[in-house]
Amino acid sequence: MEWSWTVVLDVMPKMLAGLVITIQATFIGAILAYVLGLMLAILKMSKSKPLAFSVYWSSEFVRRTPLLVQLYFLFYVLPDFGIFLEPFTAGVLGLGIHFSTYTSEVFRAGIENVPKGQWEAAKSLNYTPYQTMRYVILPQAIPPMIPPLANYLITMFKETPLLAAITVVELFNAANIYSNSNYKYLEPMTLVGVFFLLVSVPAAIAANRLEQKFKPEEVR
Amino acid sequence: MNKIIEFQGVSKSFGDLQVLENLNLHVMSGEKLALIGPSGSGKTTILRILMTLEPIDSGIVMVDGDYLWHQKTDNKLEPASEKHLHKMRQNICMVFQQFNLFPHLTVVDNIVQPQVLIKKSNKNDALNKAEELLALVGLEGKESQYPHQLSGGQQQRVAIARALAMDPKIMLFDEVTSALDPELVDEVLTVLHQLAESTDTTMLTVTHEMNFARDFADRVLFFDKGKIVESGPPDMIFTNPKEARTRDFLKNFIGKI
Ligand SMILES: Nc1ncnc2c1ncn2[C@@H]1O[C@H](COP(=O)(O)OP(=O)(O)OP(=O)(O)O)[C@@H](O)[C@H]1O
Ligand SMILES: [Mg+2]
């Protein structure tokens, strides 16, 4: 088998378009995963035991089942209940919901690591629960969360090819469609790998930098 | 003078451990009260109940003429709602052993933020007040530093300024010098002493510094096992205690008084 630059040139525009979809899905999915994750974390720490318990177990359920199954559910099963989602929407929702169950653990740990005295000082100054979270707890909890949250972003990026299963034409699927119709696999699939590496490696280096930057300070 | 704080038959347990047993206690408006007693006797618990950090099991706590842990609806006493507690907390502020300054804010922002958020002061007034209070606790020039850049004694003085900025009617101090190196204790106690002389804020302080308790307080309460053993003016408690248990306790501090 010979490497063909003609094939490379031929598939490249389709793959670049796919890369754009991949990056969009990653970022929108990540924003969803962060926002939902924070809400889940707060609910899991709720004083109401039944609420905390049910949120905990439903998020465990989502976390312990494969993303692929969840994507199928959103795209192929929901229509039976009258809910029709665009492939991209279903994909982003799936990614966001699935990974929110991971990020919620990051948020929870980060929030619980803020010393109890900070909550008590806020209460003593009569901060409302919202003000306590917004002005006292989160500003302290978020910096150490940034590296693990960045790592989940990279993981989500690598999971995006699963969206091909629900017909989203992201990077991998763009190559795949080309391959299947032209019977050329070597170049497109190699390029998929190269593209993922080109994004993942610098991102991993950046995440590592963040980790150094936000290393917990020595005792205050 | 009116009673600003009143505990009526208050009991409190942690699991099997009964910390307060049918406690009755009142504090007059403007009074400076020192709580002394052995470790584990329930002194901190009293302050935490007043700060609404710890609920009570039974009894009634009145603060400034209103129920602290209850509210009256249709002439029935019900457990206080979060809204009621929020209202009651406007009267009270606590200074902690571990300072609990906000580490992500500068010294001045530690004092400005609560004024802006809670008292809805405008930023400029809050800044002026912060400057004024920092001068009062002897920390001019430290405005833009972060708490971790200050000594423990300085941090605690910032915490005192932050509490003062809220203009509470009642201030609670829980062993505010216990976490400090010995050479830093005096600078904090001096500030507290000056405060006690110059304001009519009601102050409750838990302390193991007997000299300070004597200078600071109008009245000293000796506590043991969740009960008030003896209460009276400092001169009486320190020089002529009636109860044997008070004498035994104070023996540990002989030479220090
Ligand atoms: N949250 C809690 N859970 C369980 N036990 C507690 C809790 N808080 C306090 N206690 C216990 O209640 C008792 C009274 O505690 P408290 O802190 O009021 O004592 P204290 O008089 O302030 O003592 P110290 O001088 O050591 O500070 C102690 O035996 C303590 O261990
Ligand atoms: Mg104590």
The verdict on A127 touching B (C-beta cutoff 8 Å) is yes
Residue A19: what pLDDT?
Answer: 94
Which backbone phi and psi does B4 adopt, to 5 degrees? -95, -25
Mean pLDDT over the full length of chain A: 92
Rg of chain A over Cα atoms, rounded to whole angstroms, equals 21
Which backbone phi and psi does B61 adopt, to 5 degrees? -120, 125
Torsion sign (Cα): A24, A25, A27, A32: positive
Check: CB of residue A174 under 8 Å from CB of residue A14: yes
DSSP code of residue B120: -
Most distant pair of Cα atoms in chain B: their distance: 57
Closest CB to A125: pick one of B82, B103, B114.
B114
The answer to the question of residue B86 being in a domain is yes
Chain B hits for A136, CB-CB cut-off 8 Å, are 102
The answer to the question of residue B45 being in a domain is yes
Nearest CA to ligand 1 atom 25: B39
Which backbone phi and psi does B25 adopt, to 5 degrees? -160, 135
Q: Is pLDDT of A191 > 50?
A: yes
Residues A127, B90: C-beta atoms closer than 8 Å: no
Q: How do residues A54-103 score in pLDDT, each as one tens digit?
A: 999 999 999 999 999 999 999 999 999 999 999 999 999 999 999 999 99
The answer to the question of residue B56 being in a domain is yes
Check: CB of residue B169 under 8 Å from CB of residue B92: yes
Which backbone phi and psi does A167 adopt, to 5 degrees? 70, 15
Tell me how far apart the alpha carbons of residues A59 and A122 are, in angstroms, rounded to a whole number: 30
Chain B hits for A120, CB-CB cut-off 8 Å, are 51, 53, 94, 96, 100
Number of domains in chain B: 1
Residue B255: what pLDDT?
Answer: 56
Amino acid identity of B100? N
Average the pLDDT over A104-132 and give the result.
Answer: 95
Exposed, middle or buried, A26 (CB in 10 Å: 0-12/13-18/19+)? buried
Residue A218: what pLDDT?
Answer: 42
Give residue A219's pLDDT band: very low, low, confident or very high (50, 70, 90). very low
Q: Is pLDDT of A50 > 70?
A: yes
Residue owning tokens 């002005």: A135
Distance B12 CA to ligand 1 centre (A): 11
> pTM for this one?
0.85
The verdict on A113 touching B (C-beta cutoff 8 Å) is no
Chain B hits for A220, CB-CB cut-off 8 Å, are 103, 147-148
Residues B86, A128: C-beta atoms closer than 8 Å: yes
Nearest to B220 by CA among B207, B234, B200: B234
Check: CB of residue B223 under 8 Å from CB of residue B247: no
Nearest to B58 by CA among B39, B85, B77, B37: B77
How many residues appear in chain B?
Answer: 257
The answer to the question of residue B217 being in a domain is yes
Q: What is the ipTM of this complex?
A: 0.93
Exposed, middle or buried, B237 (CB in 10 Å: 0-12/13-18/19+)? buried
Residue pLDDT tens, chain B, 257 long = 699 999 999 999 999 999 999 999 999 999 999 999 999 999 999 999 999 999 999 999 999 999 999 998 888 889 999 999 999 999 999 999 999 999 999 999 999 999 999 999 999 999 999 999 999 999 999 999 999 999 999 999 999 999 999 999 999 999 999 888 888 888 889 999 999 888 999 999 999 999 889 989 999 999 998 889 999 999 999 988 888 889 888 888 765 55
Residues A117, B100: C-beta atoms closer than 8 Å: yes
Cα–Cα separations (whole angstroms), residue B3 to A173, B90, B105, B222, B230: 76, 17, 37, 20, 19
Chain B hits for A129, CB-CB cut-off 8 Å, are 82
The answer to the question of residue B192 being in a domain is yes
The answer to the question of residue B120 being in a domain is no
Write out the two tokens for A171. Answer: 């990077």
The answer to the question of residue B40 being in a domain is yes
Distance B45 CA to ligand 1 centre (A): 6
The verdict on B76 touching A (C-beta cutoff 8 Å) is no
Tell me how far apart the alpha carbons of residues B68 and B70 are, in angstroms, rounded to a whole number: 6
Domains delineated in chain A = 24-171 (1.10.3720.10)
Tell me the shortest Cα–Cα distance from A220 to chain B, in angstroms.
6
Q: Is B55 in the pocket of ligand 1 (CB under 6 A)?
A: no
Distance B205 CA to ligand 2 centre (A): 11
Write the CATH number for B77.
3.40.50.300
Residues B51, A118: C-beta atoms closer than 8 Å: no
Q: Is B162 in the pocket of ligand 1 (CB under 6 A)?
A: no
DSSP secondary structure letters along A17-73 = HHHHHHHHHHHHHHHHHHHHHHHHHHHHT-S-HHHHHHHHHHHHHHHHS-HHHHHHI
Q: Is B39 in the pocket of ligand 1 (CB under 6 A)?
A: yes
Residues A125, B166: C-beta atoms closer than 8 Å: yes
The H or E element that residue A151 is part of is helix A138-159
Please choose from B7, B18, B19, B227 the residue to mutate so as to test ligand 1's pocket, defined by most ligand atoms within 8 A of CB: B19
Chain B hits for A137, CB-CB cut-off 8 Å, are none
**Owning domain of residue B25:** 3-97+174-250
Residue A220: what pLDDT?
Answer: 36
Residue A98: what pLDDT?
Answer: 97
The answer to the question of residue B157 being in a domain is no
Nearest-atom index, ligand 1, CA of B226: 14
Ligand nearest to the CA of B35: 1
Q: How many CB atoms are closer than 10 A to CB A197?
A: 10
Nearest CA to ligand 1 atom 17: B44
